[in-house]
Structure 1
Amino acid sequence: MQELQQQVQGEWSAGIQRAGGTGRIAQGIEGSGAAGILTARWSAGWGANKIFSSLTNQIPSIHLSCEDYGLVHRLASNDQSPVLRLDAEAEFMGEVPVFNVVGEIRGTELPDEYVLLNAHFDSWDGASGATDNGTGTIMMMEAMRILKEVLPQPQRTILVAHWGGEEQGTNGSLAFGEDHPEVIDGLQAGFNQDNGTWRVQFFKMQDFPGAAENFNRWIAELPRDLTGHMETDLEVVPESGSSDEASFICRDAPGFRLLSHYPDYRQYTWHTDLDTYDKIVFDDLRNNATIVAMLAYMASEDPIRVSNVRRAPPAGRQWRPCGTSQRSSGN
């Protein structure tokens, strides 16, 4: 059965590619005079459906659940002429300002060197964006509250940044890097969280192998009841560009991402219609906020700067260049 499933999926994907991809198909359907397009993208979890951007320009693209889509498909296949009626209202409000929100605890001895806690504040609109990325914002706010209480006079300046426009291509963090070269030049370490509600389990040194020396010392100081579930193998891997740490790494500034294996994040809440408040595990958030506050404390007080020397790219390749922030929608 599994082999047959893979065969059917392969044939379907090959047909889509021969037709020029889903975007070209949608444009062709729209150009043929269709009133709308029905879409469904199962997320490999019960009742979970991925929701992404529309592929049409003027006509609506309507997302149906896997169950409803299957019903409509069967009715159509049986020549029962199903009719769908849509009642939807939308109004284009024009361009509105969006912002990053940045807080600061000013450093006392090294105020021009920075520790950056960050997460993106904008959410995906398939649901309420609870784990992508409300949990990241909650975690960083709580870590900053802890630091304000226990470390009101850090050696280095500690920033917390809640980015706008991450879902539009890390737009907010790119703009921040363009506008604040002093933070790029003075960055001791940036800690980004964009991995749902699960506990932090490991770190990757991205492109900075020398950073492992600092991280090993910091992690060794964390209480075992916080690190017992963590992997301390600090693997050096290239940045994929999928979240806001990439906006700093591309400028040779040591940005890192707090990672989890999140066994069901991709299936159930990442860009789905199930990413709602009830999925948040607050015990995990308390654990993560405590870890981040401790790491920020040690990064601030560490007499040794974190290395910003990137490893050489593999033969025949180049590191991903920085993008340019989009300051206007053009509308």
Structure 2
Amino acid sequence: MKKVFKLFLAVFLLINYNLQAQESTDPVVNSIIQEANNNSQLEILAHELLDVIGPRLVGTPQMTQANNWAVAKYSKWGISAKNEQWGEWKAWERGITHIDMLEPRLQTLDGMQLAWSPSTGPKGVTAELITLPTVKDSLEFQKWMKNVKGKLVMTSMYQTTGRPDYNWEEFATEESFAKMKKERDSLETEWRDNMKRTGYSSREINQALEEAGAVGIVTSYWSKAFGSNKIFSSRTKKIPTVDLELEDYSMLYRLVEYGNKPVIKIVAESKDLGVAPTLNTIAEIKGTEKPEEYVILSAHFDSWDGGTGATDNGTGTIVMMEAMRILKKVYPNPKRTILVGHWGSEEQGLNGSRAFVEDHPEIVQNTQAMFNQDNGTGRVVKISGAGFLHSYDYLSKWLAAVPDDITKHIETTFPGSPSGGGSDNASFLAAGAPAFNLSSLSWSYWNYTWHTNRDTYDKIVFDDVRSNAILTAILVYMACEDPNRTSTEKIVLPINPRTGEQRTWPEPKSPQRKGGLD
């Protein structure tokens, strides 16, 4: 028994030693980790934002609801918050969409109205479908345009396969896979060339068809993943535009091409609500020693509305909210002011963050650091110095306080190079502020959830999101505590090999403050 007891004691002491070794010597860091792991609010925040409020397309009532929800949530946590108007947008709300094939047989189709598309009204639109012709030049296309009157026009290319490449790679022979890719590449090339011959770009052709008398536009923007389509905006003014999932679109396309003359009915009851204010939700924990200096948390709040905007950018949003909640609880009196920005209309060109940078130069000029998170549900795996010459000196010091089980996944690049766009850190970078993107693991983001109808709560990997909240909170804490002001000295950018000229630092751009109102 004594031997067993001694063995047990040795194991216990070893485990206890390892646990102590894993703990930081900084009590605030330990409290951040314990609060994140033992009292996480991520799941309830995600549910309330994604399941209850839903997608957050700029100009919709749901976007305003989300702004108000965030202010209320911060207030409940004892954090000062407000909604700050920076512009206005076309106000619109999605309604019931129902799409049915009536001929040559009955079938309900999977699809949805595109953002800001005009309504069909409750009676809907019923018409025969036609596809774009192959033409030799724009003159021939203009002659063909008389055929669109009273028709629904399919304006997306036909997909030769509905299987993603990884599925072909797993099951097809090499010869079959190569043959498919060759056929697909040939079809894509011909489609682009034919579009040029019509005299219109893919962005212009829908308006031209509307003017020629089409009663609706039918598209399919397949995301090259099972069941995923990207849902963007309509470009028509009076007729509806709908996106059909690949399976139904390709079936209808074949019916048209084989001369079966399919007829579909579209009911899409959206609402034009006039004009809506565009807002940024801003919250802050005031600094005690250097309140005029800022450490900023950043995530865009808006989304496209094919799904509920879970990984773009619900996950970034709840990471920043959770980090703020934790910091308020365990670090309520920071040396510098902690500010969080939930930006509006990022999806249309970083508009909310660009407006904030333009409207608050005093904050931007006094930014100690800004941490932005956007791309997906995965754990952070890359952090770049963003082109600041001495970024290694402070970022590496701050990262050293983060647990090894988080930092072991992160690849750092110093001094890195500045981002010219992509997400809201670019708005601050252009103004010279040390802004860093917390770039995450893909989880098939680009093909599966980015701007698609599949970007929903169930795609969130909460272990990774929790890791990101811990990382963010510790980085913010360390940046607040750092006795030194961060250096914003920039690197000399290299020569652009395409132009032979030296690259220059990105320039600030003004936001679009009146969206969709022309």
Normalised TM-score (structure 1): 0.95
Whether the 8 Å contact between 2:383 and 2:436 is mirrored in structure 1 is yes
Whether the 8 Å contact between 1:113 and 1:188 is mirrored in structure 2 is yes
The alpha carbon displacement at 1:18 in A equals 4.1
Q: Aligned partner of 2:224: which letter?
A: A
Whether the 8 Å contact between 1:203 and 1:235 is mirrored in structure 2 is no
Matches within 5 A, 1:21-100: 21-100=201-280
For each residue in 1:151-204, what CA deviation from the matched residue of structure 2 results, as whole angstroms up to 9, or x when unmatched? 111111111111112122111111111221111111010001111111111111
The alpha carbon displacement at 1:127 in A equals 1.3
Q: Aligned partner of 1:3: which letter?
A: K
Matches within 5 A, 1:252-271: 252-271=432-451
Residue in structure 1 matching 2:474, options 291, 294, 308: 294
Distance 1:319 1:297, change over 3 A: same
Residue in structure 2 matching 1:214, options 387, 390, 394: 394
Residue in structure 1 matching 2:506, options 309, 320, 323: 320
Partners of 2:413 and 2:489 in 1: CA distance: 20
Partners of 1:67 and 1:209 in 2: CA distance: 51
Structure 1 equivalent of residue 332 of structure 2: 152
Q: Aligned partner of 2:394: which letter?
A: N
Partners of 2:208 and 2:392 in 1: CA distance: 51
Partners of 1:14 and 1:238 in 2: CA distance: 35
Partners of 1:71 and 1:11 in 2: CA distance: 20
Q: Return 5+ residue gaps in structure 1 as ranges.
A: none
* Count of residues in correspondence between the two structures: 331
The alpha carbon displacement at 1:263 in A equals 4.1
Residue in structure 2 matching 1:247, options 397, 403, 427: 427
Q: Aligned partner of 2:220: which letter?
A: A
Matches within 5 A, 1:179-190: 179-190=359-370
Structure 2 equivalent of residue 11 of structure 1: 190
Q: Aligned partner of 1:159: which letter?
A: L
Q: Does 1:310 align with 2:496?
A: no
Whether the 8 Å contact between 1:249 and 1:255 is mirrored in structure 2 is yes
Whether the 8 Å contact between 1:131 and 1:279 is mirrored in structure 2 is yes
2:273 is paired with a residue whose SS is coil
Partners of 2:504 and 2:236 in 1: CA distance: 34
Q: Does 1:132 align with 2:312?
A: yes
1:107 is paired with a residue whose SS is coil
Partners of 1:47 and 1:246 in 2: CA distance: 32
For each residue in 1:100-123, what CA deviation from the matched residue of structure 2 results, as whole angstroms up to 9, or x when unmatched? 111111111111111000111112
Bigger drift between 55-64 and 18-27 goes to 18-27
The alpha carbon displacement at 1:235 in A equals 5.6
Residue in structure 1 matching 2:298, options 94, 118, 121: 118
Partners of 2:197 and 2:261 in 1: CA distance: 28
The alpha carbon displacement at 1:225 in A equals 1.4
Matches within 5 A, 1:276-291: 276-291=456-471
The alpha carbon displacement at 1:91 in A equals 2.2
2:437 is paired with a residue whose SS is strand
Partners of 1:165 and 1:323 in 2: CA distance: 14
Q: Aligned partner of 1:9: which letter?
A: E
The structure with the largest alpha-carbon Rg is 2
Partners of 2:236 and 2:279 in 1: CA distance: 28
The alpha carbon displacement at 1:324 in A equals 1.2
2:369 is paired with a residue whose SS is strand
The alpha carbon displacement at 1:299 in A equals 0.7
Partners of 1:95 and 1:279 in 2: CA distance: 33
Partners of 2:196 and 2:401 in 1: CA distance: 52
For each residue in 1:223-267, what CA deviation from the matched residue of structure 2 results, as whole angstroms up to 9, or x when unmatched? 111212221334612313111111111111111111023040011
Residue in structure 2 matching 1:199, options 358, 368, 379: 379
Whether the 8 Å contact between 1:40 and 1:64 is mirrored in structure 2 is yes
Residue in structure 2 matching 1:101, options 281, 293, 298: 281
The alpha carbon displacement at 1:309 in A equals 2.2
Q: Aligned partner of 2:315: which letter?
A: T
Distance 1:5 1:326, change over 3 A: closer
The alpha carbon displacement at 1:295 in A equals 0.4
Q: Aligned partner of 2:256: which letter?
A: A
Matches within 5 A, 1:161-176: 161-176=341-356
Structure 2 equivalent of residue 237 of structure 1: 417
2:204 is paired with a residue whose SS is helix
Partners of 2:299 and 2:483 in 1: CA distance: 26
Partners of 1:24 and 1:162 in 2: CA distance: 33
Q: Aligned partner of 1:280: which letter?
A: I
Partners of 2:408 and 2:225 in 1: CA distance: 29
Q: Aligned partner of 1:80: which letter?
A: N
Partners of 1:82 and 1:54 in 2: CA distance: 23
The alpha carbon displacement at 1:24 in A equals 2.5
The alpha carbon displacement at 1:211 in A equals 1.3
Q: Aligned partner of 2:309: which letter?
A: G
Partners of 1:289 and 1:310 in 2: CA distance: 28
Alignment RMSD (CA, Å): 1.7
Whether the 8 Å contact between 2:385 and 2:413 is mirrored in structure 1 is no
Distance 1:234 1:15, change over 3 A: farther
